Structure 1
Amino acid sequence: MHYSRKLLTGMALALLAGAPAHATTVQFQTVMGDFEVNLFDKTTPETVANFLEYVEAGDYQDTFFHRSVPGFVVQGGGFRFDLEADQASEIPANEAVVNEPVYSNQRGTIAMAKLANNPNSATNQWFINLADNSSNLDSQNQGFTVFGQVTGNGMAIIDAIADLKFGNFSGEDFLGDFPFDNMPVRDYSQDDYDNTLPVTEEHIVLIQNIVVLDASEDTADDLNPKLSTKDDNSGGDGGSGDSGGGGSTGLLGLLALAGLGVRKLFKARA
């Protein structure tokens, strides 16, 4: 099945008046357990179509969570891991998708990462909100597009990922010149880090695949996601400089705007 990008933005806005959010169901298959996400096909159609293009192409196979910020987000979708060579590489990005800031960045929602000061720059990277992040993410950079919701006991798996140790695994000693400054790892100790033990499949939080379980657009009529609080907040685009992440840079600026001190569980390297 080919998921074309339909120009349904106007229709999506019209559906907001008392209509439930309809959702394709996808399953994230990870080494820490599988969880399901319902996608908001009818109200964020461009973003869902964009995401499903990567799914259909197999681009999310053997990828990994490359960023973890306690109490804020876990992020993936940008990098593949070569299981034989233990090397990371970037997923080629498709054309950027138009911003669709319909829903609020609440705990358990999945949203698109994007570049600073560029609302329509989301490509392949996404993040899952660990908390109610609406106070900054609903307005910053004209709002971060929430396009789905983790369902069932899925957040127990996400919380387990968020509880892992994390550290800076960028640079020649580890996984190359990538923004892995807050990457979660499994079974990896401080001594391992100090001795620059190579990061392997046994250490990363691998996403083996993302698959469509039910392609129907009305699989979750009982979903009732909160609408974006963008109009309730001041500041419009929100912030300046590296105020929003995505692409190859991640959510760098969001760390400061979230008011979170990045707690390094591994010693900073010179």
Structure 2
Amino acid sequence: MSRLILIMCALFSASVFANTKVLFKTTLGNFTIQLDEAHAPITSANFLRYVNDGSYKGTIFHRVIPGFMAQGGGFDKNMQQQQSYAAIKNEASNGLKNKVASVAMARTNDPDSATRQFFINYADNDFLDYSSSKPGYAVFGQVIDGYDVVQKMANIPTKTSGFMKDVPATPIIVTDVTIQK
């Protein structure tokens, strides 16, 4: 039942909030993501759920690999994993590609396991795209302003923290996230 409600919300939000812009304020500066709700309605609705409930605020970019991607949304500055809603269906077959500055959902080996973590591509990561032989990673947006801030993340030295590698030694904290009107 909850999966049906999420799908219905996704379809509703696609018609009401087409091309929603989300401003991220971080300790390194600000950047704006524009969602593609027409091509990724379920993923966009899921992302907006975390934006609207304020749970991205106080999270960090916990995995940054220069030339590849910057991943965030799932851990606080103490590397404590944050609560998530139910996983969503993978929309990687939506035609959107993992290109420079695109935003996609992180997931486990299970294609339908994405919850709250997302990543921003530093390169054209075609190997992450959907194909008939692999499920891919669902792109749902694009950084349209402040990509230089995202690029600054790649300049922060990284460390290993517990089981996590590529953790910025100086935390990159999300201080606020708002929908732009």
TM-score, structure 2 as length reference: 0.86
| Matched residue, 1:160 | 152
Q: For the Cα contact (< 8 Å) 1:60–1:80, is it kept in 2? A: no
Residue 89 to residue 9, structure 1, CA distance change in 2 (3 Å): closer
- CA distance in 2 between partners of 1:95 and 1:128 (Å): 22
Deviations 1:104-150 (A, max 9, x none): 0000000001111x11110011000000001x100374111000000
- CA distance in 2 between partners of 1:137 and 1:88 (Å): 26
Q: Which runs of 5+ in 1 are unaligned?
A: 11-21, 82-86, 171-178, 186-202, 215-270
- CA distance in 2 between partners of 1:100 and 1:67 (Å): 23
- CA distance in 2 between partners of 1:23 and 1:40 (Å): 5
- CA distance in 2 between partners of 1:180 and 1:32 (Å): 21
How far off is 1:25 after superposition? Answer: 0.4
Structure with more of its chain in strand, by fraction: 2
- CA distance in 1 between partners of 2:88 and 2:130 (Å): 18
Q: For the Cα contact (< 8 Å) 2:62–2:71, is it kept in 1? A: yes
Match of 2:33 among 33, 37, 55: 37
- CA distance in 1 between partners of 2:150 and 2:49 (Å): 24
| Matched residue, 1:212 | 179
- CA distance in 2 between partners of 1:9 and 1:88 (Å): 30
Consecutive aligned runs of 4 or more in structure 1 exceeding 2 Å deviation: 4-10
The 3-state SS of whatever aligns with 2:23 is: strand
Equivalent position amino acid for 1:49 in 2: A
Equivalent position amino acid for 1:211 in 2: T
Q: For the Cα contact (< 8 Å) 2:10–2:44, is it kept in 1? A: no
How far off is 1:208 after superposition? Answer: 0.8
Equivalent position amino acid for 1:92 in 2: Q
| Matched residue, 1:107 | 100
Deviations 1:37-57 (A, max 9, x none): 001112211001101111111
The 5 Å alignment of 1:45-84 reads 45-81=41-77
Deviations 1:50-108 (A, max 9, x none): 01111111111111010011200110011123xxxxx3321111111111112000000
Q: Which runs of 5+ in 2 are unaligned?
A: 12-17
TM-score, structure 1 as length reference: 0.58
